Amino acid sequence: MTTPLHISESESNDLVTLARCMAGDFSNYKQSVENPKNFAHIHVYFRPLPFEFFSGIGFYSEQVYDYDLWSPYRQGVHRLVDCKDHIYIENYSLKNAYLYAGAARELDILKTITTDCIQRRHNCAMIFRRDGDLFRGSVEGNSCLIERNGCQTYLVSDVEVTQTTWVSLDKGMDMNTHEQVWGSTFGPLRFEKRESFAHEIPTIL
């Protein structure tokens, strides 16, 4: 285990707490077993990036079906920003995402990701606020655009995260009719943390 790097006292305690909650391998195994018809077994990985990547706290993420761990269907890079009354999480896409498949589990692959590999997804940041023992997050506005099956949609994303759970519901809404085009119609995905990467998060001095 490597010694965690440090961040300044000016960084929010909530930011670090949220980061430690996020850092891990999450699985909805229980949900998929109880209701296999409507929920596939999925992993969500949030692997901390080196402190130097953003000069702060950042993550590489993957969402992948359990039966095909080397073919993630969603990958991203995220930068956490302290905005006093909330935590702002910038989202970035990877220019050649397939080159980094498995980086959440294989640190040698993770090390190959640089700032030249990523591109900001404007209007797609998530805003998180503490609510007691959990954090609630949602996408900013309704301008995070995703084309699906020839239809232009905007993303609606709601998340609840604790030290041991990640609950999320993503939906794509038609730009004109505001009707749901894609996403779960059976309720949110409910993940439990199988492995924590919290020790890789910088600590406050």
pTM comes to 0.90
At 58-86, the pLDDT tens digits run: 999 999 999 999 999 999 999 999 998 99
Question: Which tokens belong to 77?
Answer: 């890079």
Which are the contacts of 79, defined by CB distance < 8 A and separation ≥ 6?
Answer: 54, 56, 57, 58, 89, 90, 92
User: How large is the average pLDDT for residues 90-118?
Assistant: 97
How far apart are the C-alpha atoms of 98 and 20, rounded to whole Å?
A: 27
Mean pLDDT rounded to a whole number for the chain: 92
Provide the pLDDT for residue 136.
98
How far apart are the C-alpha atoms of 30 and 26, rounded to whole Å?
A: 11
Provide the pLDDT for residue 204.
53
User: How large is the average pLDDT for residues 176-191?
Assistant: 93
Give the C-alpha distances (Å, rounded to integers) separating 168 from 48, 101, 104, 109: 20, 22, 19, 27
Give the residue carrying structure tokens 């498949």.
101
Question: How many other CB atoms sit within 10 Å of the CB of residue 19?
Answer: 26
Lowest mean pLDDT among 2-11, 53-62, 81-90, 144-153: 2-11
Question: How is domain 6-194 classified at the CATH fold level?
Answer: Lipocalin (2.40.128)
